[in-house]
Chain A
């Protein structure tokens, strides 16, 4: 028997659930697959409702974790087995070695001297990273990671002599005894390469909305300047393709709830950087839930933003690394084939558990969202359950925490 709670996933929903449960006096473990907490929010430039930078909200969460001895978290950790029943689970966790010392050593000088490079997954391939890296300045834990696979020959020699680095660290498994679980495994952006008619990710200067977030982020590949990846020039003519792979039975058969708002937000980024930029939004229907309608009104009032009702259904490479986009303006009944400097595909959220072999005894719906499991003392939170914005993901984290607390309470 255990009164502890295991939170799977250290994104906004998972952090909220963990903190709320810990602040109610429960012992909490967080298991996070990536090297840092913060999840998808950390990758954004700004987030709703107040369009704050992610460091703003996350910093508060990190402080609450730092100050609360009841919370223990494991990064680069994955749940690889779960046995037992409600109230008494044994979770097997695999810890991938970080290969750096447990305190926050500043490796920036050493990292910049390394030569081996790999695609930076945190920037969705828009930049390269070294073998020794930290994705963002406000990363928590503030520790670097050594990715031994990316080390070049000369890097190995450099690293071998370095203090506070242990390239030989091996992965290890630990068992955690917990009474309840909160599953907040979150989402991944829908894979652009599957959108064959929209260029399958092979058209230069046709990027995803999450890639645009990285371009706009001050800690991103361009230091916050929104430019075309091919030539680093600011785009003058930008198109947004809504429902790129969403509400589509061939891809994601549901509405991801946030992509319209993400586009409006990104229109504001673009206009802030260049008031003369011309933006066209191709849409089927626009979704601005609740008070967010004010943002829609604000964007609509911009003279340089136009809306075309009609899904962009073909994207192809044009000359000078520009992008052809074809859509039917369904209101006027005209097929448009226009060229843009930059095309942004507003791809949707796919639950991280979709199509992935995992060890949770949870029923998933046909799209991969968690649809049940509460009778087993396992509670879903955040986008693992349904597409949500950050506010609602946090709320669902609190709700899951309360249910988990009640499961282990009073025994």
Chain B
């Protein structure tokens, strides 16, 4: 009989337990979870095999596993788990480990893995935007200047052309580059040993990506499929609506940002499309932005309420879960407050709120590759990968 010697990585097990999989050692491999999961395929289903890898500290296998990304965390497996091992949370913990270790600089991953790192994460942008504020204040002669016509214009301090835009452009493309490297690395890791034979015509990854976007992300179909599992007899708040609202609000706000950026920079070349900020409340782009903000609040409220009312025995939210919800709450609230204070002509509160808004927006995007928000790239990449390799 073939012998296989395990190389357990005890530290990895501890890290996983800290990252949200604290009960994973309770698993006794009954395989209920693999049946409980309606998404799990017939061949090598998850999450039972991941539970044994996690228990045994087989870091390699778990980190290279594409299946942890196929899981959409509906929690059926945890509801039906006879030992309270919480496989859904263990899968989330495994994803947290990928966020932590996948990309450089790894110190951010470390900070992002627990509450102890939060002060550093906050202080970096807080200091950055404070420097910008001080420099501009020195130039303007006041920390809270008004525009020439007496209005509150954030651009007086946080001037677009050479403060906000360059910083965010660098942040954005930096994050994109890191994510690109992360995805390349993930795909390399996912690759099974040996060669793969594809019969028929091979579709390019772009067409698969389009498939994932249209078939899964736009429709949120997997969230419905999640509901098709065996009857657990336990109440489960649906996540589809909350998640969908949030995703669409991000799309709307990204679109608004793109329009404003185009209007600003493009306007320098073609004056006809120039957009001036602050926009009037009745300007269509502004209306769309405010709709986006409202959708975001609704989505956040639904998702937060769900986490707060979850059965604590079988579902525990980890730091990454709360960090992501928290940072989006802060972005949304400071953004809305900035606008409200500005319209109410409250000069100092408006600038303070806007400052914090910039801090939190920067945190949201700069730390994206190491935070749970990274799932929108990594999971999409994994879903594209499984389409290319015929596992779904």
- Docked complex Cα distance between A41 and B261 (Å): 81
Question: Is the pair A328, B232 in contact by a Cβ cutoff of 8 Å?
Answer: no
A329: chain B residues within 8 A (beta carbon) = 31
Q: Does A310 contact B (CB under 8 A)?
A: yes
- Docked complex Cα distance between A314 and B34 (Å): 11
B48: chain A residues within 8 A (beta carbon) = 328, 330
How distant is A311 from chain B, measured CB to nearest CB, in Å?
4
Q: Which residue of B lies closest to A325 (CB)?
A: B35
Question: Is the pair B230, A197 in contact by a Cβ cutoff of 8 Å?
Answer: yes
Given contacts A196-B232, A335-B40, contact A310 B82 (CB under 8 A): no
How distant is B192 from chain A, measured CB to nearest CB, in Å?
14
Question: Is the pair B45, A328 in contact by a Cβ cutoff of 8 Å?
Answer: yes
Q: Does A248 contact B (CB under 8 A)?
A: yes
Q: Does B309 contact A (CB under 8 A)?
A: no
Q: Does A158 contact B (CB under 8 A)?
A: no
- The residue that A243 contacts in the complex, of B30, B43, B44, B84, with Cβ under 8 A, is B30
Given contacts A243-B30, A313-B35, A335-B35, contact A197 B45 (CB under 8 A): no
A309: chain B residues within 8 A (beta carbon) = 31
Q: What per-residue 1/0 map shows which CB atoms of B216-247 lie under 8 Å from chain A? A: 00000000000001111100000000000000
How distant is A312 from chain B, measured CB to nearest CB, in Å?
8
Q: Which residue of A lies closest to B52 (CB)?
A: A330
Q: What per-residue 1/0 map shows which CB atoms of A319-345 lie under 8 Å from chain B? A: 000000011111001111100000000
Q: Does B205 contact A (CB under 8 A)?
A: no
Main secondary structure of the interface of B (DSSP, over half): loop
Question: Is the pair B30, A335 in contact by a Cβ cutoff of 8 Å?
Answer: no
Chain A, 167-198, CB within 8 A of any chain B CB: 194, 196-197
How distant is B231 from chain A, measured CB to nearest CB, in Å?
4
Q: Does A250 contact B (CB under 8 A)?
A: yes
- The residue that A333 contacts in the complex, of B30, B32, B45, B233, with Cβ under 8 A, is B45
- Docked complex Cα distance between A191 and B217 (Å): 41
- Docked complex Cα distance between A233 and B32 (Å): 31
How distant is B85 from chain A, measured CB to nearest CB, in Å?
10
- The residue that A327 contacts in the complex, of B35, B43, B49, with Cβ under 8 A, is B35
Q: Does B83 contact A (CB under 8 A)?
A: yes
How distant is B49 from chain A, measured CB to nearest CB, in Å?
6
Question: Is the pair B36, A313 in contact by a Cβ cutoff of 8 Å?
Answer: yes
Chain A interface size, as a band, is 20 to 34
A313: chain B residues within 8 A (beta carbon) = 31-36, 80, 230
Question: Is the pair B82, A248 in contact by a Cβ cutoff of 8 Å?
Answer: yes
- Docked complex Cα distance between A247 and B41 (Å): 26
Question: Is the pair A334, B31 in contact by a Cβ cutoff of 8 Å?
Answer: no
Given contacts A328-B31, A328-B35, contact A196 B233 (CB under 8 A): yes
Query: Most chain-A Cβ atoms within 10 A of its Cβ — which of B41, B83, B231, B232?
Result: B231
Q: What per-residue 1/0 map shows which CB atoms of B67-87 lie under 8 Å from chain A? A: 000000000000010111000
A316: chain B residues within 8 A (beta carbon) = 230
A336: chain B residues within 8 A (beta carbon) = 42
How distant is B84 from chain A, measured CB to nearest CB, in Å?
5
B32: chain A residues within 8 A (beta carbon) = 311, 313
Question: Is the pair B233, A197 in contact by a Cβ cutoff of 8 Å?
Answer: yes
- Docked complex Cα distance between A336 and B84 (Å): 24
Q: Does B29 contact A (CB under 8 A)?
A: yes
Q: Mind listing 30 A-B residue pairs with CB under 8 Å?
A: A196-B231, A196-B232, A197-B231, A249-B82, A249-B83, A249-B84, A250-B80, A284-B28, A284-B29, A284-B31, A310-B31, A311-B30, A312-B35, A313-B31, A313-B230, A314-B35, A314-B36, A314-B229, A314-B230, A327-B35, A328-B31, A328-B34, A333-B43, A333-B49, A334-B42, A334-B43, A334-B44, A335-B35, A335-B42, A337-B42
